[in-house]
Amino acid sequence: GENVEQHPSTLSVQEGDSAVIKCTYSDSASNYFPWYKQELGKRPQLIIDIRSNVGEKKDQRIAVTLNKTAKHFSLHITETQPEDSAVYFCAASQGGYQKVTFGTGTKLQVIP
């Protein structure tokens, strides 16, 4: 089955700096890669996703890149703010009636 590895497990950055979280996946049939943000005590929420026919997607300060050949994808957050502090999860799926496999999470701390 699919295996998603996520690094780093913790990340501290100064406010205004960029943060990068990286994930690798094992199943070349995976074609959908969402990212979720979970603030302390709250439920995970989708922040951005990408499909395999696209190499990069941006939404304001957040971007995701996908390298299908290398089977890795990354989340980039620019101009970080204290409210970006949370746990971020990457995930991979083949779509259709297949399950979504999540990474182990990255705890991001943005230091004011």
Nearer Cβ to other proteins (52/78):
52
Rounded Cα gap, residues 39 and 41, in angstroms:
6
Q: Which residue has the tokens 């949370």?
A: 86
Of 14-22, 45-53, 61-69, 72-80, the segment contacting other proteins by CB under 8 A is: 45-53
Nearer Cβ to other proteins (9/18):
9
Residue 62, burial from CB neighbour count under 10 angstroms (0-12, 13-18, 19+): middle
Footprint of other proteins on this chain (CB under 8 A)? 1, 6, 9, 32, 34, 36, 42-46, 49, 89, 93-105
